[in-house]
Amino acid sequence: MFESFLYAYSDNILLLLYVWILVFVFGLVVGSFLNVVGLRLLSGESIVFPPSKCPNCNTKLKWYDNIPVLAYILLLGKCRYCHKPISIQYPIVEAITGISFLFIFAWFGFSLITPMLWILVGACIVMCITDFKEQVIFDWVSLPMIPLGLIFSFFNIGGIENEPIKVFGFSIAGTFVSAIIGIAIAFAFFELISLLSKIFIKHRAFGEGDTVIAMIFAAWFGWKVVILTIILGLLVQAVFTIPLLVIKLLKSKDKVASISFAVLILSAVIPMICNRLDIFYSGILSVLLVIVTFSAAIAGALVFLRRMRELNSYTLLPFGPALIVGGFLAVFFYQKIVSLGMF
């Protein structure tokens, strides 16, 4: 898709660059607005009023103090009026939004899928802001993305090649059926694990917002993508969580927690190694391997979480942002990731 769009503008690179710059700037402006939405949702303020102000001295900001990214650089990361530091969150969110909008436009060009994915990205960025700050995801931001995703799938706006499926004599887009199946898988996975964790450790392993995020990606992109989304989300989370947990385990010298944590890690690594080496590649042994490792992973996680609860030593990091990153990696690089043979 990206190559064909670039080829279409190969005769006029200056026009292409001009359009890309406009899209990037538009993304920066939207990112500035998303910062306001996320932070004011948490503070309970109106999104529209009052106008932008310094969070430290409450001084109303001039328009040139609100130029995305550039204002932060020119002010050296400090308020023009009280000279206190400005949160690095502002330029980071603006830059991520600008880059995301440009990437989507460069990939899909002038098509309906582009603005729809911009809407999805915007909602996901707001969810990341609130989840990072207060471990909360607001329903009015997340829930509308599910029916919007079902519309996206029903009309196959993504242009995925699929055969219609006959249901009670009616032809339904395969992408829509895949979305419904994916929603069921996402809900069952997160709520089942959360139910078990509430029984064994009196605490939800995943927040309800995490379930909704997975259902969003299922509604938009189907069951295959949501399964990969969950796997990649767990891997992204592990990159940041495992070092913290290892340090904590080394300090506590807790054997039960250490063993359960090792079982959890091995249950994730062993299937990938076996798949890579073509061990238990097919047949009843491969099914047995999946059942055993999945059961070991759940058991290890529950024992580890219960031990952390007993020690009052949780290392809580919001899972929503990791799941969102995993989701977009799955959406754009599904074929390449699967072709690696690791999943």
pLDDT tens digits, residue range 186-202?
999 999 988 888 887 77
Alpha carbons 153 and 147: distance in angstroms, whole number: 10
Is the pLDDT score of 330 beyond 80?
Answer: yes
Contact call for residues 15 and 9 (beta carbons, < 8 A): yes
Question: What pTM, to 2 d.p., does this model score?
Answer: 0.83
Give 143 or 269, the one with higher predicted confidence: 143
- Domain spans, the chain: 1-142
Query: Which tokens in the block code for residue 104?
Result: 């989507």
For residues 334 and 228, what is the distance between their CA atoms, to the nearest angstrom?
8
What tokens were used for 114?
């582009």
Vertex 319: Cα angle to 178 and 147 (nearest 5): 35
SS3 label, residue 61:
coil
Residue 213 has pLDDT above 90, yes or no: yes
* Residue pLDDT, tens place only, 79-112: 999 999 999 999 999 999 999 999 999 999 889 9
Residue 60 has pLDDT above 90, yes or no: no
pLDDT digits (tens, 9 = 90+) for 146-192: 999 999 999 989 877 666 666 655 557 789 999 999 999 999 999 99
pLDDT of residue 278: 67
